[in-house]
Amino acid sequence: MTLQRSIISDSAPALELHDVSFVRNKRPILSDIKLTVEAGEHWAILGPNGAGKSTLLAMCGAVSHPTSGTVRVLGAQLGRVELQALRTHIGHVNPRHPLTSGLSIQEVVLTGLTGTIDRPMRWGPTDAQVRSADELIDLLGLAGKTESTWPTLSQGERGRALIARALIAEPQLLLLDEPSTGLDVAAREQLLETIDNLDSTHPHIASILVTHHLEELPTSTTHALLLSHGRITMQGPIQQTLTTDSISHCFEHPISVTQHDGRWTARAGKAASSPAA
C-alpha cells in the first residue's frame, strides 16, 4: 500500500510528540514526553539502560502506539493512519538486522523498497531501482562490493549497507538504533563519517540516533534529548544539552563532558559545571 501524499504534510515537523506516556504490564515505561523534530535536524537520544530509549524510538518509527498522548510522524497522527504505509516514509537502521540468508549487498539494499528482511517471492526491482541501489552502495563507501554476500561482510560494511537500505525509499525521517553496536574503533569512525556525509547528500532528511555513548555521536548532530527512568531530563540544541551537569544528572553518576572538533567524550569524575567547550 502506498501512503497518499495528502496524508503527509511537507510543512509539518518530521516528528511531534505531545504528553506521551507508555505503560506495559501496569508499569510506566515513558511519562510526559514532549518532542518536536523539524526537517533537516539531527537528534540524538541518550540515556542509561532501561531509560525507555527503544520504546521511544518505536513510536517515532510508527511501530507502536502510546498509551496516552499524541504522536504525529510526518504530520500523520498514529491511530488515524495506516502504519505500514507510513513506515514507507521512514528509514530504520538496526545493526541487529535479522537476516540469515546469503543475500548480496545489492539485494539487501533493495529490500528497503519492500520493507522486508528477505527478497519477496515474485517481486523484482526495476532497472531504475537497481541503479539507485548501486548509486547508494557507491555513495556509502561500498563500491566494488555490490555482489558481496551478507555473511562475508564485516560489521562496519553491514552498517553502511543498512544505511543504504534505509535511504533507498527516499524517507523523510531516518532512525538509527545504536548504529555503532559491535564495531571496532576504525569501523565506528568510518560509519560516523558516512552518517555525517548525509548532511550534504540528503540535507532535508530528519534523523534520530539512539546511543549510550557520547563518543558515538556524529559531528552533524544538532540536538539531543536525555532520557532517564522514562522521563526527559533535558533536551534542546546539543551545545546546551550535553553538559557535565546534565549528563551526570541523567546517568546518576559524576561524568565530565568535553567536546573537541565536533566530537564528544565522557569521563568518570565531574569537573566544571559549565557547558562543554
Give CA separation, 207 vs 66, 177, 271, 272, in Å.
20, 11, 31, 31
CB distance 180 to 189 below 8 Å: no
Q: What is the pLDDT of residue 7?
A: 54
pLDDT in tens, 18-35: 999 999 999 999 999 999
Read off the pLDDT of each residue in 75-92 and give the average, rounded to a whole number. 88
- pLDDT of 2 > 60? The answer is no
Q: Sorting pLDDT into bands at 50, 70 and 90, what band is 122? A: confident
Question: Mean pLDDT score of the chain, rounded to an integer?
Answer: 90
Measured CA to CA, the distance from residue 53 to residue 47 in angstroms comes to 7
For residue 2, what is its C-alpha cell?
A: 502506498
Q: Computed from CA positions of residues 48, 50, 54, 57, in that sequence, does the dihedral angle turn out positive or negative?
A: negative
pLDDT of residue 83: 83
Which candidate, 74, 21, 78, places its Cα nearest to that of 52? 21
pLDDT over threshold 70, residue 193: yes
- Assess whether pLDDT exceeds 70 at residue 203: yes
* pTM confidence score: 0.89
CB 71 within 8 A of CB 173: no
What is the distance between the alpha carbons of residues 152 and 233, in angstroms, rounded to a whole number? 42
Number of H helices, E strands in the chain: 8, 12
- Average pLDDT of the residues in 152-159: 91
Mean pLDDT of the 216-242 span:
97
The predicted pLDDT at position 3 comes to 42
pLDDT at site 9? 60
Over residues 48-75, the mean pLDDT reads 94
8 A C-beta contact, residue 179 and residue 192 = no
- Band (pLDDT 50/70/90 cuts) for residue 272 is very low
Place of cell 555513548: 213
Q: Residue 40: what residue type?
A: G
C-alpha cell recorded at residue 43 = 537528534
Q: According to CATH, where is 3.40.50.300 located in the chain?
A: 1-89+173-230
The answer to whether residue 270 scores a pLDDT higher than 70 is: no
Q: At 75, is the pLDDT very low, low, confident or very high (cuts 50, 70, 90)?
A: very high
Cell of 267: 569521563
Residue 228 pLDDT greater than 70, yes or no: yes
* Of residues 154 and 274, more confidently modeled: 154
pLDDT at 273: 45
* Sign of the Cα pseudo-torsion (168, 166, 156, 117, in order): negative
pLDDT of the residue at 117? 86
| Residue 144 pLDDT greater than 70, yes or no | yes
* Domain 1-89+173-230, CATH homologous superfamily name and number: P-loop containing nucleotide triphosphate hydrolases (3.40.50.300)
Residue 115: pLDDT band with limits 50, 70, 90: confident
